[in-house]
Amino acid sequence: MQISKYRVLFAVTFLVIAAGSARAQSDRYVDNYYPKPALVEVYKARASTMNKVARHHRIGFVLGVVKDISSKPYPAHVAVFAKGKGATKLIIVSQVAGRLDTIFRVRAYLAMLTSSARMTPIFQKMKVEDRFTFLDLIKMLGFKSVTVSDGDTFAHQIVVQ
């Protein structure tokens, strides 16, 4: 049985498209901003996403956090930015070796960020409840995940639901 060159071309094209689609569904920021997370955790937020929250709110929030970090009398120890469609992926990468390199340091850092987040203009206007953590606050802004990395070999990702 002879296979036509068009069938082979079709099959190869299909495989290339399927491989590209699978790659697109994976985390395209792995090996670009951080290594593959060893663990992806799911956090069930106690807060709901705010009505009419948009990309510019998330970008404004990140700028507020960066401004707070940059206002310190020492060099910034992390880079914070939003990526993805609608800027729904929050990424925090250590700029200093030996920091944010364990799950415990990551959780402690996220706990510290709660107060910085509350000081951003959007949350100051809202007077958010004290019971909300950093992860609850980013859920309110429509972030879908936060990934924290030591900028070398460790990354931890939290999917916020």
Q: Which of 82, 111, 103 is nearest to 154 (CA)?
A: 103
Any idea where the domains of the chain sit in the sequence?
A: 29-160
| Ordered per-residue pLDDT tens for the chain, 161 residues | 555 544 544 443 344 333 333 333 478 999 999 999 988 999 999 999 999 999 999 999 999 899 888 899 999 999 999 999 999 999 999 999 999 999 999 999 999 999 888 888 888 787 776 789 999 999 999 999 999 999 999 999 999 99
